[in-house]
Amino acid sequence: MVGGAPITRFLVIDALARAKGKRYSTFDVVGAGPRVVAGLIANHSFHVELKAYELVSNTSFRFNKYDFILISAMSSDKGALENLLSILEHSGYKGIVIVGGPISVEYEYLLKNYPRIDYVILGEAEIPLTKILEYLEDFVEKKYEVVKSPPTHTPANLLSKNKPWTNISESYPNYKVNRYYVEVLRGCSNYQRPRIKYGNLNCIDCLMCKNDDLEKRLICPVNIPPGCGFCSVPYLFGPARSRSVDSIVEEIKDLIENGAKRIVLSAPDFLDYGRDWIIKPKPLTNPCHPPPNIEAINQLLSSIHDIPEVKKGVVKIMIENVKACLVNEDVVKVLAKYLRGTTVHIGLETGSFSFNEKYLGKPIGPQHVFKAVSLFKRYGLRPYIYLIYGFPFMSKEVYIDTINVVKKLGAMGVEKITLYKYVKLPGTAFENIEYDVKSREKLVTKLKRVVNRVNLENKRSFVKKELEVFLVYSNGKYYGYPVNHGPVVYVKGLDNPKYSGCKALVKIYDVDVRNIWGRFLRIISC
């Protein structure tokens, strides 16, 4: 503050994917959201620190030195949020508590049930948090009138202007090994909707959400939320908007300077990158047309590859999600040029195109995925597939179609199929629809068995292979995170904890459905 006034201190807590207070998977993932928030505060010249949940979830942490505490969480992280609020209460914390992230869609529930929460930022933080920073004293004294409104979507130029937090060494355990997600774009291009009549969903078959006019897709006359029926991303984060190449490259350089070795170019669909520039000033609301902006993707990947540590292979770059309907040979050639050997995740959800298209509002099916898998395999990329069971309206026939598709994907050499159980989330079209998976228990069991068989068969291909991994020492054991992503390796034959964070070579000697074991061969670099 100016003139000798006390410094206002902010603490951002990353509680994402902490469930009831502990991670059960993806231990090495660091999402982009909390870093964006911490960066925004720092860019407004305030004192801010970013800490992972694990670093603050104990009674010895000194919360009272902060005036504002911002907690980022998902709906599935209520247990972790409750733990933090309880710790704050017992520590006698008197400052302001703000909650954000995907859990923010439940703002009414949060404010009603957790009196220690002062504010909830719904959706994207840039515009509402800037308002808080500009009128700080009013918010401290709770004089500010809180307006309940739909989420505010940040313009693309502001996404590029904000510099996310990159001082990761002070923020995350095992900071040299983690996968850091760097936003290349925000939002989703799928503005189709479930076209069903059930409960509060009363589609009138106007087909506005399939209109060639991209602006008309934004509005549904009967207020069905946009996008896949199980997903809140379009509602919370709007149509896809790409960041500039320069802003992305600068962020990656800073992360590398602070110790990052694994970067994931994060997006609901990486192939949306630059598509919004093709149809500008229209919003990008069609998931499959126009085709990928190959020039933009090539410019982004080539600029990242020119970073010395990336070019030398010291730092590994990955992407995550793509929509199969955008995959063509030209774009796969570009991906393979820079990302060969890394994984690519494809959301299929079920094995029935008609179910996906009508009931889920996702115009992508097996025919798109088979083509994408074939191309990725041909050019040396490693396709992973996402499926979901337990959807409302998921018939016996859809389960059978899905089982058959899994068998075909296994025969095509898909390295991993991840099968999730459908979980009802706020802010989605399916939010108020009840469902009962018990009537499909036998089919679910069969689907799980087939998925496990495919995954085990493909995991066996790892046996006798040598893998480069980043080592993490925890509770007397070493875990290896594959440099090019893949299943975590239980590393045997290494006891000295000083190698945590180093890159090592291991040889795989055994696998089962969930696990891989490897024997330590040598340290590559530290």
Q: Nearest CA to 192 among 325, 320, 356, 425?
A: 356
The pLDDT of residue 427 is 86
Strands (E), 142-269: 179-183, 185-186, 197-198, 201-202, 241-242, 262-266
The pLDDT of residue 437 is 83
Q: Mean pLDDT throughout 181-205?
A: 95
Q: Which two tokens stand for residue 279?
A: 């149809």
CATH class of 463-525: mainly beta
The pLDDT of residue 140 is 78
| Percentage with pLDDT > 90 across the chain | 84
173-177, 338-342, 504-508, range with the lowest pLDDT: 173-177
Instruction: Give me the residue spans of the domains in the chain.
Output: 9-161, 176-460, 463-525
Q: Mean pLDDT throughout 144-157?
A: 74
The pLDDT of residue 24 is 64
Q: Nearest CA to 330 among 383, 386, 276, 271?
A: 271
User: Is pLDDT at 3 greater than 60 in this prediction?
Assistant: no
- Give strand pairing partners of 47: 9
Q: Nearest CA to 328 among 292, 298, 302?
A: 292
The pLDDT of residue 145 is 54
Q: Mean pLDDT throughout 66-80?
A: 95
The CATH code that applies to domain 9-161 is 3.40.50.280
The pLDDT of residue 435 is 83
48-62, 147-161, 199-213, range with the lowest pLDDT: 147-161
The pLDDT of residue 462 is 92
pLDDT band at 207 (very low <50, low <70, confident <90, very high): very high
User: Is pLDDT at 463 greater than 50 in this prediction?
Assistant: yes
List for the chain the helix, strand, coil content (%; round to 5): 40, 20, 40
User: Is pLDDT at 433 greater than 50 in this prediction?
Assistant: yes
The pLDDT of residue 146 is 55
Q: Mean pLDDT throughout 105-115?
A: 92
The pLDDT of residue 21 is 83
pTM for the complete prediction? 0.94
107-116, 143-152, 382-391, 473-482, range with the lowest pLDDT: 143-152
Phi-psi sector, 101: left (phi>0), alpha (psi -120 to 50), beta: left
pLDDT band at 485 (very low <50, low <70, confident <90, very high): confident
The pLDDT of residue 250 is 98
Is residue 518 helix, strand or coil? Answer: strand
The pLDDT of residue 4 is 43
Read off the pLDDT of residues 276-335 as tens digits, 9 standing for 90 and up.
999 999 999 999 999 999 999 999 999 999 999 999 999 999 999 999 999 999 999 999
What does the alpha-carbon distance between residue 428 and residue 447 come to, in Å, rounded to a whole number? Answer: 25
Q: Homologous superfamily of 176-460 in CATH?
A: tm_1862 like domain (3.80.30.20)
pLDDT band at 439 (very low <50, low <70, confident <90, very high): confident
